[in-house]
Amino acid sequence: MTEEPAPARAVVTRRPTGPGPAARPARVPIPPGGEPERDPETVRALVHGQLRTGLAVVGLLAALLGPLPLAFRSVPQLGGDGRPVVVWAVLGVVVYPLFVLLGRWYVRRAELTERRFNDAGTRARDGSGTAG
């Protein structure tokens, strides 16, 4: 089978609706049929919990690094090479392990939140007998 001519395709303004092999694949995979039904309130609580953890990390990052440019500028020369060496050490070396530590802390917290959420879900399902 030959392809359709190209110029006609430039003006597509809506998604193709017809079925068949030529139809566009669902660009966004279909919500999985087997997804456990969760009450919107619990989901909301989960989202808030995760958001708090995320913002804590970003806030910590901002609090730790944000003042540095100002600090480096306002601290007078600590005599000789003092100031540059401190700046080089902080920005060149110290921050990188710090990032990894923050990252690991975040992952632990986030996974903990999810585990609790899953456990609660399992208990709720088992309790209401829908699991069978």
Question: Six-digit token pair at 57?
Answer: 């990390």
Residues whose CB is less than 8 angstroms from the CB of residue 76 and which lie 6 or more positions away in sequence, other chains included: 83
- Note whether 88 binds other proteins by CB under 8 A: yes
Candidates 1, 2, 18, 33; binder of other proteins (CB under 8 A) is 33
- Binding positions for other proteins, 38-57, rule CB under 8 A: 38, 40, 43-44, 46-47, 50-51, 53-55, 57
In the bound state with other proteins, the residue whose beta carbon lies nearer, of 40 and 76, is 40
Candidates 1, 2, 18, 30; binder of other proteins (CB under 8 A) is 30
Please give the Cα distance from 86 to 73 (Å, whole number). 12
- Note whether 117 binds other proteins by CB under 8 A: yes
CB atoms within 10 A of CB 130: 10
Tokens 């966004």 belong to 28
- Note whether 124 binds other proteins by CB under 8 A: no
